Copies of this chain bind each other. A is one copy, B any other.
Amino acid sequence: MSGPVSPLAPKSFVDMPPVRGVRMATAAAGIKYKGRTDVLMMVFDAPATVAGVFTRSKCPSAPVDFCRDNLGGGKARAVVVNSGNANAFTGKKGRESTAMTAVAAAKAAGCSEGEVFLASTGVIGEPLDATKFSGVLDGLATSANEDFWLEAAKAIMTTDTYPKVATRTARIGDVEVRINGMAKGAGMIAPDMATMLSFVVTDADIPATTLQALLSEGVEPTFNAVTVDSDTSTSDTLLLFATGAAAADGQKPVSSPSDPALAAFRTALNNLLKDLALQVVRDGEGARKMVAITVEGAENDGAAKKIALSVANSPLVKTAVAGEDANWGRVVMAVGKSGEMADRDRLAIWFGDVRVAVDGERDPGYSEEAASAVMKEEDIAIRVEIGLGSGKATVWTCDLTKAYVEINGDYRS
């Protein structure tokens, strides 16, 4: 919605086949944007099991509170998402707004309000006028259809420059199941939560508690390993639904998250979550380059991730990437400030395949030309070897450009 499409966008969108048991429709309710859809309704033919992870912000939005309350029930029949207004920090009005939307959605879908899930994204602090879209939910529930994933992903965009979708299949026993997902970014993206909004649906038959375990585990190296600007949103919501339609094909019930029958599903799910998370980074506000930061040899995996995030969130590293400057000294700085154990004289750093530093100083064979060539690429890998242990982590970020400053200098107007 904000100017030209990110140069890092996928060259074409994947075909998104339906997932049995879920239908979708969108509407243009004029919440903030003109001439585009801004409300999405998902309807499940039968109650789906549901799992969710949410922002760890101490100031979560009203819909996040609402979803947390309903998650205990473990059943979903309808999801309503709006863009243009986050319904965050809206106090009593915000709760009234979620309540009104839930009543309208429950009536439209023929379910209880406890089976409704809500998400809102956009400006923080403006009261959300739910009357703008509560009236259209009846129509959306009626017109919803299975073959609508890409359109659905468009309705939840804010500063995103392209819709984010992904699809996978996996076998549970002899039965093939499908997993579809959509996500939106593109600012206020930082880990330690389920970044921004993402909705994933499978036709597998999986109980809510198992679904939750799979999701909580899958989110750590994917959505929780990406950062655009280190700013954790008030609204981050990732919901995973299982419609259970595959039971009709003979999919046998699964007993627990460790059920061996779930191995392929787990892999496919994690793969899809990573796909969506990286699409979010590739559409980071103002992004021109994608950076993968791998830290190895840290004290433990947690330390490795903290160091990697320190590099990924450093404005000086990110502006150097934007300027195609092989300024590895700033990587040293970011390792040093992370607070994790590091021994300067054991550090080694690579840009792409070019080792730029080793044993605490510039690589004896350092070539500015070779390092600079890496920085001109669209996708840049930075690797840091700490030399202390076996802890390892990868996080993904984008560069910090003038366009980021411009996009965020006057977002509200």
Contact = CB atoms under 8 A, between A and B. Distances in A.
Question: A interface, by DSSP: helix, strand, loop or mixed?
Answer: loop
Nearest to A366: B125
A336 B59 contact: yes
A325 interface: yes
A233 interface: yes
Interface in A364-413: 400-402, 404-406, 408-413
A330 interface: yes
A341 B324 CA distance: 40
**Top 5 closest pairs, chain A to chain B, by CB:** A323-B409, A124-B329, A91-B361, A59-B336, A57-B336
B412 A336 contact: no
A290 B324 CA distance: 29
Contacts of A402: 402, 405-406
Interface of A: 55-60, 86, 88-94, 123-127, 187-188, 190, 229-234, 313-316, 319-320, 322-325, 327-330, 332-345, 347, 357, 359-362, 400-402, 404-406, 408-413
Contact of A125 (B188, B332, B342, B400): B332
A328 B339 CA distance: 30
A319 B405 contact: yes
B411 A333 contact: no
Contacts of A360: 89, 91
6 contacts: A59-B344, A59-B347, A90-B361, A124-B332, A125-B361, A323-B410
Contacts of A325: 409-413
A59 B408 CA distance: 33
Nearest to A386: B58
A329 B123 CA distance: 7
A51 B344 CA distance: 25
B412 A327 contact: yes
Given A59-B335, A59-B342, A59-B344, A316 B127 contact: no
A314 B360 CA distance: 31
